[in-house]
Amino acid sequence: MGSTCEINAAMSIWRRLSLFVLASSLCSCLCRAEDSAMENIVTEKKAEESHRQDSADLLVFILLLTLTILTIWLFKHRRFRFLHETGLAMIYGLLVGVVLRYAIHVPSDMNNVTLSCNVNASPATLLVNVSGKFYEYTLKGEISGSEVNDIQDNEMLRKVTFDPEVFFNILLPPIIFHAGYSLKRRHFFRNLGSILAYAFVGTVVSCFIIGLLMYGCVMLMKQIGHLGGDFFFTDCLFFGAIVSATDPVTVLAIFNELQVDADLYALLFGESVLNDAVAVVLSSSIVGYQPEGDNSHTFEAMAMLKSFGIFLGVFSGSFLFSLTPFHVTKFTKLRDFPLLETALFFLMSWSTFLLAEACGFTGVVAVLFCGMTQAHYTFNNLSPESQDRTKQLFELLNFLAENFIFSYMGLTLFTFKNHVFNPIFIVGAFLAVFLGRAANIYPLSFLLNLGRKYKISSNFQHMMMFAGLRGAMTFALSIRDTATYARQMMFSTTLLVVFFTVWICGGGTTQMLSCQKIRVGVDTDQENFVSIGPDGVERRSTKQESVWFFRIWYNFDHNYLKPILTHSGPPLTATLPACCGPLARCLTSPQAYENEEQLKDSDSDLILNDGDITLAYGDITVSTDATGAHTSGTPVGGVAVNSDEALDRELAFGDHELVIRGTRLVFNALLFELLFRR
């Protein structure tokens, strides 16, 4: 009996213990569930707060652009030209940056805990074990010891700091593409030799002049103890490459508004378009300089040649990528659907940039030449609606992206946390940029004038020297890598250089034009045939003035490339040998036969080098043969017209009847009355 009672008592105790353990387990599960639910609620609240913060940050930039546009309208309405829209965008960005940096403070979050542990490296991703749960943390950047207690303010400023890849992959392509797509080709090719000299030779000379001067400045800083980190000669050359990229958007806008001499406009615009591409490839070649041995900053001839090979390979490879998007619009029926046609044109143009970058080449070069070739070839395949849409689309994207970048420049002067401002380096940079630009313009102009029939006058040279503004490309190259002390100092100095050139040089463009007595109000259409030099002497554009290489290229392009890639130009059946008849019929589109009497070539009015050109004024016919001799027919009234006088009159006016390979432009009857019945 006693043993039975003991057993019952033990069973009772066991049941109580089991119930207690079960209750404890249930409580623990409920607590964990409650904690998990609380964590989910906190996470959702943080996600919602982050979403609101991101929306507010984007709203700040939208308001900046809106305010800039309204101020631009006011300036245009009042005819103020002392400050361009890009300068305005920078000023507004500066004001917003001051407010974000000094006027707004985010209260500290009590849940934030700062723990320290010693590691030998800074991993990009960190896994933290908290009570058996693993959390992933991403590296955001280095902060100084004095900023540890200002984590919330740093996070707010970091929110308005974009990833540098955003500039290269999203904002830069529309700007560069629009530069090539809107290029005035007839003036560009008329000065092609000079533009190539300034863009290639001049940019390289400027890079090395600036690099050498900055290296001397760095050595001086090292001697007096003002250098806080490593700064090598390759870093100085890299700085020279990025600040050699000119962006005279302010000057060109004023030139366009005032209708400044077309040749000066073409020289400045062509140089700025091409030297951006040269600066990008040059900077990547300098980064790729890797001599053998432990010291990667010593001079070595083989490494130098390798970098030069990288320059040529990257530039030529990127150029080849620009030739990819032509063919789809010709061999499809997308003309019947303008919206799809415009969308495909836009996507293929942008994909050229991304494809070149993904393959290790330079997207800037690819998308620049893509814009030029798209305007020359693919534009002719588009329907009229798509032609208008693409022009307006890329003009809008260029305007928004450019002003966004300049607004962001002003903002980063106060929101970027790792600025390194050194007065000696800044003064040296301004002096080096000035001397580098002078070494680009004046010696090259002297050499070019030795072979030019119409010289680049001294006032043009002074204007080009003054108009060497720095802008979006310089900023994008400098912000792409700010990890080291040298790159941080370069970025901070680059901002000041951009601010000074845009505000001072850009704002003084009108006064500089007046000081140099450069004529304005020039009709660019008439400039195709008649222009007046700075000395007041009238000059005419003839076939001898065009670059000889361009004349040869034009014939090849007109007879073969345009018929293959577009619907315009003469049919291949008329230009290829008879043995190539089947291939010619296959590659020639039906529209080419329909448009055989209409030449859609905006460059044909510049090139007068055909074997047989016939100029018809009413009943008067002036013809030239391959030797350049010309004869004239006799009008019905029996009055003979001197052929030299008739040809001179033809070259002096752009609205005439011109027959080239079956192409006919109607001669204005009023001009006929003015010319021949006075």
How confident is the model over 156-169, as pLDDT tens digits? 666 667 778 888 88
Contact indicator for 405, 472 with CB cutoff of 8 Å: yes
Q: What is the mean pLDDT of residues 6-29?
A: 62
Q: What is the mean pLDDT of residues 101-109?
A: 66
One-letter-per-residue 3-state SS of 98-157: HHHHHHCCCCCCCCCCCCCCCCCCCCCEEEEEECCEEEEEECCCCCCHHHHHHHHHHHHH
- pTM higher than the cut 0.95: no
Residues 6+ apart with CB under 8 A from 208: 237, 240
When mean pLDDT is compared across 54-58, 341-345, 438-442, 584-588, the lowest value belongs to 584-588
Is the pLDDT assigned to residue 638 strictly greater than 60?
Answer: no
pLDDT confidence of residue 33: 55
Quick one: pLDDT band at residue 204, thresholds 50, 70, 90? very high
Taken in order of first residue, the domains within the chain and their CATH numbers are 164-291+299-524 (1.20.1530.10)
pLDDT confidence of residue 396: 93
**Burial code of 416-449, b = ≥16 C-beta within 10 A, e = fewer?**
bbbbbebeebbebbeebbeebbebbbeebbeebe
Alpha-carbon dihedral of residues 534, 536, 540, 545, nearest 10 degrees? -30
- Rounded Cα distance between 594 and 609, Å, is 25
Quick one: pLDDT band at residue 640, thresholds 50, 70, 90? very low
When mean pLDDT is compared across 150-164, 196-210, 499-513, the lowest value belongs to 150-164
The rounded percent of the chain whose pLDDT value lies above 70 is 66
**Angle at alpha carbon of residue 432, lines to 430 and 437, rounded to 5°:** 100
Angle, in degrees to the nearest 10, between helices 262-287 and 458-466:
50
pLDDT confidence of residue 587: 72
Contact indicator for 89, 403 with CB cutoff of 8 Å: yes
- Which has more confidence, 114 or 417? 417
pLDDT confidence of residue 495: 94
pLDDT confidence of residue 125: 74
pLDDT confidence of residue 158: 66
- Could you read off the pLDDT of 618-627 as tens digits, one per residue? 333 434 443 4
- Rounded Cα distance between 242 and 278, Å, is 10
- Residue 246 φ/ψ region, left for φ over 0, alpha for ψ in the -120 to 50 degree band, beta for the rest: beta
- Which has more confidence, 21 or 183? 183
Q: What is the mean pLDDT of residues 581-587?
A: 75
Quick one: pLDDT band at residue 116, thresholds 50, 70, 90? low
- Rounded Cα distance between 513 and 341, Å, is 43
- Could you read off the pLDDT of 366-378 as tens digits, one per residue? 898 899 888 888 8
When mean pLDDT is compared across 37-51, 239-253, 628-642, the lowest value belongs to 628-642
Contact indicator for 492, 421 with CB cutoff of 8 Å: yes
pLDDT confidence of residue 23: 59
Question: In the Cβ-directed half-sphere of 29, how many Cα atoms lie within 13 Å?
Answer: 6
Stated length of the chain? 678
Question: How high does pLDDT run on average in the chain?
Answer: 74
- What is the torsional sign of CA 469, 473, 474, 475? positive
Quick one: pLDDT band at residue 544, thresholds 50, 70, 90? very low
Quick one: pLDDT band at residue 662, thresholds 50, 70, 90? very low
Quick one: pLDDT band at residue 301, thresholds 50, 70, 90? low
- Which has more confidence, 292 or 365? 365
Is the pLDDT assigned to residue 260 strictly greater than 80?
Answer: yes
Quick one: pLDDT band at residue 553, thresholds 50, 70, 90? confident
pLDDT confidence of residue 311: 79
